[in-house]
Chains A and B, each alone.
Chain A
Amino acid sequence: MSKCFVKAGMVFVFAVFNVSLLANELHPNFPLLDKQGNDVIKSGEPLSTIQTCGTCHDASFIQAHSDHADAGASQSGKSSTHQSWETGLGYYGGWDPIDYDLATNDSTDKVDPEAWLKRYGSRHVGGGPVVDKIEMNCLLCHSNVSTSGLREEAIKTGDFKWANSASLASLDIINKQKNGWFWNKKAFNRDGSLVEGLLSINKPKDENCAQCHGLVNNDLETPLILSAKDLGDSMTMRSGQIISPQKVSASGLNIKNKKDQSYPFDVHSDRVLGCVSCHYSLNNPVYFQRTDANQPEHLMFDPRRLTLSDYIQKPLHQFAKGNSNHGLAAFESENSLRRCESCHQAEIVHQWLPYKTRHFEALACESCHIPKLFGPTLKAIDWSLLDAYGEPIKQYRNIEGSPLDSRNMISAFEPILLPRNNVGGVKKLAPFNLVSSWFWVAGNPIRPVSREHLKQALYKPGWENQKNVVYQNTIMKVLDSNQDNQLSKTEMQLNTPEKINAVKTALEAIGLTNVSLKGEVNAYPITHNVVNGKWATQSCDSCHHQNSKVDGVITLSDYQPGNLQPEMVEDPTMSYSGQLNTTQNGQLEFHADASQSGFYLLGKDNIPWVDVLGLLMFFGVLLGVSAHGIARYIVNRKGNLPKHHYHKEYMYDAYERLWHWLQAFSILILLATGLIIHKPHIFGIFSFSYMVQIHNVVGFILLANAALSLFYNLASGEIKQYLPEPKGFIGRSIAQATYYSKGLFEGKPHPIEKSREQKMNPLQQVTYLAILNVLLPIQIITGLLIWGAQRWPEVAELFGGLPLLAPVHTLVAWTFASFIVMHVYLTTIGHTVTSGIRAMIDGWDEIEDE
């Protein structure tokens, strides 16, 4: 046996020098066919993917069941749109201020498929609404073809017929020559099939998805860098997301404090997941799980599923997805994606987190697990003016200047947290990027001014054929405020009435009517670039703090074109909880405010008047007793007060004293910790989490102490001490009050004799009755509800939830604090200053002789 392994080892040693082929060896070699089903190498005709792949797969079925092919076209007109000029919500006919142009026909408002293809076709897979022009290109997602630019060029120039064939140019299977496209004979075998190993057919790799969706780098050896392609309307530019297992620190990007970020851009990518691990085909028998409403509840797993051969023949090309305002508008597939909790048992790894359930209820996992993003993230895209290259003016959140220039440093982008409407109607805070966009609209009904019109209005004639264009004199004059014939960054900002008018006039001059500037803000959800818990937001004061992440501020634009308030584009998946604000230097900001959506965070939220009232009460009492004390001191110093004789009497038995001190210490600890929890930014040296825990524990001690004492008082009948004798109550109260305010200073004896049977005067009785039977229960109940909000959120909600419970709890706490001041002071009016306290320590009080 061992010999056999020795041999195996030796074979292996040789094998390692031979890098194994990456091609998918399972997929058979196949001929490329044209529309008629003939070998292209014989006919010289363009490739038909439907014919070629359709030999084995049901290509027509696939084409008819593809969200990517449909691009939302089938939804057109079926639901209301955000903007009046949109014909649908998807890529086909929808409005996206980053991509800008509509490609709809001005007069009919219908999408012109040819114009749309030329404008957007390079990022469309074919099929769907343009099926009669370009078939769905299976190779883009299922093979190793790479962008050579020829496919894009074919689409742009209207050479749709050859567009799909052109994608094979990167593998040298086809060549473009002056007089047309020619299949390369060397790439084909005699039987018309492709030479082995040339074209590798595989399930979509991340790199396939990356062609449109953003920066992907699965190679650990080559540090990732940005290319122009990654900055299209991709998730990298929209929200800084980069899909790579590389550690940020090992990437090729120029990132601030890079060395400290030694974690992968995307932990799922690091852990060998690919895009299709989550965004799988909805009938892939390996991944999908039926969620039919009519599936019996007792069945966790239904083993009756498609066989692999069925699936390979007819794979749905509708992929599991989340729910976003942007993209293909594939409504049927919305929220088909498995959620974090479908794979992760969050409870197990969050043992350290206090109030787990409460946090899980209020926060999407992404809020803590996507703390930072490192792709250049768009802040604003301004089409109110085009630069000399015909491009809009872009502002990035985390980089100055061009992201493609590696000398410019990228800083981390911390997303803003806004309420996201999760499946099932639960509102959770989740990370977003907000991008503002500014553009001209004109006509009736209004629609965005096209790029061509903009250029026509802004540039001098002849711009179509120039690389570097010249602005119209009228435009240049107002823009170039320092008249140096150069346009600086600030000069290119359309932020004064003169500049705006100049462009408006120029647009009207080319025949546009009803011209006005418009701004909108779109929210882009962030769900990728999840980090391992070690790198996630963990500290309590990230949120439970005056400067809470939850109330983040995000700049929408460094300037506000035309002082316009942009429209927050309605998004059913989230709410803009917060308000817009323009800073003194003209920056437009969005201030998130989670409390608008009913989130109440201890340590962040409070009602200011509660604290003002509480402080007034506290210092009022302090002031009162101080004045009283000073007066007593002055009177006492004169020394002509009559002397009383005192005798000792055993007033408080051991249990009473224990109860009292337990209660006293509990309240003091609760007040102290409560204050820290309430204003953590003032008491930064204390651990918020630890204070909360102590507060909870001591709260329960207080509760237990109160309950035992209630039992004791009831059982022993001592309770009657607290109950004022109704007869003559008012008279006695007045007498006591008079004593405090007058008699005390004249050295008169206490009006009401203190004894074992009657320890309290009527004022004490009323106060303690209120404190122990009203305030204490309120405090205990509100405290319990706040504590229990994590276990029984419904109960807390019943009582108004945290937004009501917490301020009440705070107000009562202030009352307790004030009471303690008064209470401690009043212990000093016995025989000596300390005799009151001594009595509560050893039980022996000193009572005036009669």
Chain B
Amino acid sequence: MKLSENRWLFGLATIVLIFSVSIWIFTEKSSVQIDEPWEGVPVRPAHVDHKALFTEPFKTGQEVTKACLVCHEDAAQQVLHTSHWRWESDPVQLEGREGLIATGKKNTINNFCIGIRGNWESCTACHAGYGWEDEKFDFTNADNVDCLVCHDQSGTYKKGKKGNPVKGVNLLEVAQSVAIPSRENCGGCHFRGGGGNAVKHGDLDESLFYPSEELDVHMGRYDFYCVDCHKTKEHNISGRSISVSVDNHNQIACIDCHNNKLHEDERLNAHTDTVACQTCHIPLVAKEQATKTHWDWSEAGDSDREEDSHHYLKIKGSFIYKKNLKPTYLWYNGLADRYLLGDKIDANQMTPMNLPKGHIGDPKAKIWPFKVHWAKQPYDSKLNHLLQPKTVGKEGYWSDFDWDKALRLGANYADLEYSGEFGFAETQMYWPLTHMVAPKEEALQCKACHSDKGILDWQGLGFPGDPVKWGSTERARLIKVDLKDEVQLKNSENMGGNNE
């Protein structure tokens, strides 16, 4: 065909262009979606069926690990660097303390079962390794890495004392089932922290194995696994909590996936610099299983009292559990103070184990929801520091019910001084809440906080009163003062440097 014969096509194109361009320019565009949360969710790797790879029965966990390492050569070495293996952080500088400090389950205490030293055999049932029974455990021996606890999908794997598989577990079947960690793998330890289901966190318990969407919108409605948010690189799982961590590296945030200003409502978006997402979107925790809020060790050892795991146990003392727990709200910048073994306490006052850091003038701090766990736990009434009893095993408190002996032994394991005189002191532990996110319809409404009966104590938080009426200039003002202080400090430091 000749060009001239096709000229009409150009004419047609011109006309189509005129129409489409004008319509494109002058009609309203549908609003662009501002939130693409799925972009932040990792694609789960394709599953490789391991059934055919293992045929011979395994005698020990270590044998399985060896078999894993045939293909996954670096895996065990990677695990050796993780907190799931080390139960200890990298050494960090802590405000107000000298030198670098490495903390973790390995060497600190809490106000639940208190501490692991001397109690290893029982506590390390949740260690991602085999055979940790005393201080001599070799943290460099990759043979003892437990691959199965995180990767078993048969549901038949169970760890017992010292973290070794219990008798009767068919290790071949377990090994053949391995895949990406599911909620069952993580929940096996994390839902049962503190010695049983729903004890510790309040926002993590066994109801999350098969959650409804009302309980947890991510896991319930969208079937999230833990590792979808706790993204993992080289076996290093992201996310941390001030219950053990003192730094805030490798943390997870809602805004990893969600847009920080995603509310259609300008008024709500104005909150996000001051209020954590969790505050409104986790109005309640322990929605299905009651969580422990009070633990009084001082009442332990009474054989006459009726035992009931939710109220009293002779070995542990008395408890209070609460369902549908309403959080406590505090300023929190992601870090916390940490009670370290040997720190002095004032026994007449409540000792915070991990007081969240942050205040109204801290630009990084937001109002966060916490579960607060209150306890009465043993301390040295002469030396005024908290003690760590040996509870587990021979001569432990749980067999002999002798506090003095248990504390003496525990102090020995923990390198603590023990005067022989002990009492019970009040402590509190803070658990930032971040799971059990409710569907958006259930989020807190304005009047939940901004009313006479609101859940926030504005003056306690440092506001002159409800910011709806009083404004939020107090925070803005204090942040400015704070920044100014910092600048001045820096300037003076710089000047000092010049002088030298």
> What separation, in Å, do the CA atoms of A335 and B468 have in the docked complex?
27
* B15 x A5 contact (CB < 8 A): no
* Other-chain residue from B27, B264, B461 in contact with A690 (beta carbon distance below 8 A): B27
* A701 x B460 contact (CB < 8 A): no
| A11-B460, A13-B372 known; A532-B265 Cβ under 8 A | yes
* B441 x A247 contact (CB < 8 A): yes
Q: Mark A248-274, 1 if CB is under 8 A from B, else 0.
A: 010000000000001010000111100
* A218 x B265 contact (CB < 8 A): no
> What separation, in Å, do the CA atoms of A52 and B462 have in the docked complex?
38
Q: Mark B22-43, 1 if CB is under 8 A from A, else 0.
A: 1100111001000000000000
A365 within 8 Å of B by Cβ? no
Contacts of A669 in B (CB 8 A): 19
Q: Which of B413-455 contact A (CB under 8 A)?
A: 428, 441, 445-448, 450-453
B7 within 8 Å of A by Cβ? yes
> What separation, in Å, do the CA atoms of A82 and B468 have in the docked complex?
45
Contacts of A1 in B (CB 8 A): 485
Tell which of B109-117, B246-254, B352-360 binds the partner. B352-360
> What separation, in Å, do the CA atoms of A12 and B458 have in the docked complex?
10
Q: Mark A8-29, 1 if CB is under 8 A from B, else 0.
A: 1111111110001010000000
> What separation, in Å, do the CA atoms of A626 and B461 have in the docked complex?
84
Chain B residue nearest to A12 (CB atoms) is: B460
* B445 x A247 contact (CB < 8 A): yes
Contacts of A262 in B (CB 8 A): 441
Contacts of B451 in A (CB 8 A): 218, 272
B483 within 8 Å of A by Cβ? no
B8 within 8 Å of A by Cβ? yes
Chain B residue nearest to A669 (CB atoms) is: B19
A658 within 8 Å of B by Cβ? yes
> What separation, in Å, do the CA atoms of A496 and B138 have in the docked complex?
99
B350 within 8 Å of A by Cβ? yes
Which of B15, B328, B460, B485 has the largest count of A CB atoms less than 10 A from its CB?
A: B460
* Other-chain residue from A247, A534, A693 in contact with B26 (beta carbon distance below 8 A): A693
* B8 x A20 contact (CB < 8 A): no
* B428 x A13 contact (CB < 8 A): yes
A: interface residue count bin: 35 or more
B134 within 8 Å of A by Cβ? no
Chain B residue nearest to A219 (CB atoms) is: B453
A6 within 8 Å of B by Cβ? yes
Contacts of A16 in B (CB 8 A): 328-329, 457, 460
* Other-chain residue from A8, A247, A270, A693 in contact with B27 (beta carbon distance below 8 A): A693
B18 within 8 Å of A by Cβ? yes
Contacts of B14 in A (CB 8 A): 658
Contacts of A661 in B (CB 8 A): 11-12, 15
Contacts of A841 in B (CB 8 A): 8, 11
> What separation, in Å, do the CA atoms of A9 and B336 have in the docked complex?
12
A389 within 8 Å of B by Cβ? no
> What separation, in Å, do the CA atoms of A13 and B27 have in the docked complex?
56
A369 to chain B, nearest CB (A): 15
B330 within 8 Å of A by Cβ? yes
* Other-chain residue from A9, A14, A694 in contact with B359 (beta carbon distance below 8 A): A9
* B446 x A270 contact (CB < 8 A): yes
> What separation, in Å, do the CA atoms of A354 and B23 have in the docked complex?
15
A614 within 8 Å of B by Cβ? no
* A270 x B337 contact (CB < 8 A): no
B: interface residue count bin: 35 or more
> What separation, in Å, do the CA atoms of A657 and B448 have in the docked complex?
69
> What separation, in Å, do the CA atoms of A690 and B23 have in the docked complex?
10
* Other-chain residue from B22, B428, B452, B457 in contact with A701 (beta carbon distance below 8 A): B22
B319 within 8 Å of A by Cβ? no
User: SS class of chain B's interface: helix, strand, loop or mixed?
Assistant: mixed
B439 to chain A, nearest CB (A): 9
A314 to chain B, nearest CB (A): 24
* B445 x A698 contact (CB < 8 A): no
> What separation, in Å, do the CA atoms of A8 and B358 have in the docked complex?
11
> What separation, in Å, do the CA atoms of A1 and B484 have in the docked complex?
14
A842 within 8 Å of B by Cβ? yes
Contacts of B329 in A (CB 8 A): 16
Q: Mark B196-217, 1 if CB is under 8 A from A, else 0.
A: 0000000000000000000000
Contacts of A5 in B (CB 8 A): 331, 358-359
Chain A residue nearest to B327 (CB atoms) is: A16
A2 within 8 Å of B by Cβ? yes
Chain A residue nearest to B22 (CB atoms) is: A697
| A9-B355, A12-B330 known; A698-B23 Cβ under 8 A | yes
A352 within 8 Å of B by Cβ? yes
* B452 x A22 contact (CB < 8 A): yes
A688 to chain B, nearest CB (A): 13
Chain A residue nearest to B358 (CB atoms) is: A5
> What separation, in Å, do the CA atoms of A269 and B485 have in the docked complex?
41
> What separation, in Å, do the CA atoms of A376 and B122 have in the docked complex?
62
Contacts of B265 in A (CB 8 A): 532
> What separation, in Å, do the CA atoms of A116 and B460 have in the docked complex?
52
A516 within 8 Å of B by Cβ? no
B270 to chain A, nearest CB (A): 13
B95 within 8 Å of A by Cβ? yes
Which of B14, B19, B358, B448 has the largest count of A CB atoms less than 10 A from its CB?
A: B19
B443 to chain A, nearest CB (A): 10
Contacts of A264 in B (CB 8 A): 445
* A352 x B28 contact (CB < 8 A): yes
> What separation, in Å, do the CA atoms of A9 and B451 have in the docked complex?
22
Which of B7, B447, B448, B452 has the largest count of A CB atoms less than 10 A from its CB?
A: B447
* A9 x B331 contact (CB < 8 A): yes
* Other-chain residue from B23, B31, B372 in contact with A694 (beta carbon distance below 8 A): B23
Which of B8, B267, B331 has the largest count of A CB atoms less than 10 A from its CB?
A: B8
* A665 x B19 contact (CB < 8 A): yes
* Other-chain residue from A12, A658, A689 in contact with B457 (beta carbon distance below 8 A): A12
A245 within 8 Å of B by Cβ? yes
A568 within 8 Å of B by Cβ? no
> What separation, in Å, do the CA atoms of A657 and B7 have in the docked complex?
12
> What separation, in Å, do the CA atoms of A1 and B361 have in the docked complex?
11
> What separation, in Å, do the CA atoms of A700 and B19 have in the docked complex?
11
| A696-B26, A697-B26 known; A249-B328 Cβ under 8 A | no
| A9-B355, A698-B19 known; A15-B457 Cβ under 8 A | yes
Contacts of A11 in B (CB 8 A): 460
Contacts of B358 in A (CB 8 A): 5
* A10 x B31 contact (CB < 8 A): no
Chain B residue nearest to A692 (CB atoms) is: B27
B266 to chain A, nearest CB (A): 9
A44 to chain B, nearest CB (A): 35
* B446 x A271 contact (CB < 8 A): yes
Contacts of A532 in B (CB 8 A): 265
Contacts of B372 in A (CB 8 A): 13
* Other-chain residue from A20, A271, A658, A700 in contact with B15 (beta carbon distance below 8 A): A658
A337 within 8 Å of B by Cβ? no
A212 within 8 Å of B by Cβ? no
A216 to chain B, nearest CB (A): 13
A430 to chain B, nearest CB (A): 25
* A220 x B445 contact (CB < 8 A): yes
> What separation, in Å, do the CA atoms of A700 and B31 have in the docked complex?
25
Contacts of B19 in A (CB 8 A): 665, 669, 698, 701
> What separation, in Å, do the CA atoms of A585 and B447 have in the docked complex?
48
* A220 x B448 contact (CB < 8 A): yes
Q: What are the 5 tightest A-B residue pairs by CB atom distance, in nearest-first order?
A: A12-B460, A5-B359, A262-B441, A693-B27, A697-B26
A-B contact pairs, 28 of them (CB 8 A): A1-B485, A5-B359, A8-B460, A9-B359, A10-B352, A12-B457, A13-B350, A13-B372, A14-B350, A15-B460, A16-B328, A220-B447, A220-B448, A245-B445, A270-B445, A271-B267, A352-B31, A354-B28, A658-B11, A662-B18, A665-B19, A693-B27, A694-B23, A694-B27, A700-B22, A700-B26, A841-B8, A842-B7
Given contact pairs A10-B350, A272-B447, enumerate 17 new A-B contacts (beta carbons under 8 Å): A2-B359, A8-B460, A9-B359, A12-B461, A16-B329, A270-B447, A271-B446, A272-B451, A534-B264, A654-B11, A657-B11, A661-B15, A665-B15, A665-B19, A693-B26, A698-B23, A841-B11
